Every structure is written in C-alpha cells, then in structure tokens.
C-alpha cells in the first residue's frame, strides 16, 4: 500500500487547532469518528490545568 502525498497545506488546519490548544484527542475524534481517543488519553493523561472547568483559564504559555 502506498502512502498518500501529504503537503503542509493538508496539515495546516490540524496544526492551527493544535496551536489553539485544542486537545489532540478531540481532533482525532473529529477526524476519525470511528476511532476513539481513549488510547491517546491513556498515553498522554489529562492536562495539568482543567481549563474546561468554570473559573479555570489556561496559563499563558508563550509569555505574551
């Protein structure tokens, strides 16, 4: 089986989501609904900050 030709333009939407701190597990679930994010969650674990909970905001990681 041959690998598809993937260009940087093909991966830009995913890279943009990752840059906005969208969890990789969510991107996988959206891109391949038949797949599950359980393996990614098990491997990576939950983030240090529960940014999705009320009153929690993500830390400024880029120092801006």
The whole model's pTM is what? 0.45
Cα 50 to Cα 16, 46, 56, 63: the distances in Å are: 21, 8, 6, 20
Can you tell me which residue has the tokens 């943009």?
A: 16
How far, in Å, CA of 64 to CA of 61, rounded?
A: 8
Interval 26-57: pLDDT, tens: 888 787 766 567 777 787 788 888 877 887 66
Residue 61's pLDDT band (cuts 50, 70, 90): low
pLDDT at 64: 47
């Amino acid at each position: 089986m041959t690998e598809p030709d993937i260009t940087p333009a093909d991966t830009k939407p995913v890279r943009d989501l990752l840059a906005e701190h969208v969890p990789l597990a969510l991107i996988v679930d959206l891109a391949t609904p038949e797949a599950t994010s359980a393996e990614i969650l098990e491997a990576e674990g939950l983030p240090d900050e529960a940014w999705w909970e009320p009153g929690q905001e993500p830390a400024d990681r880029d120092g801006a």
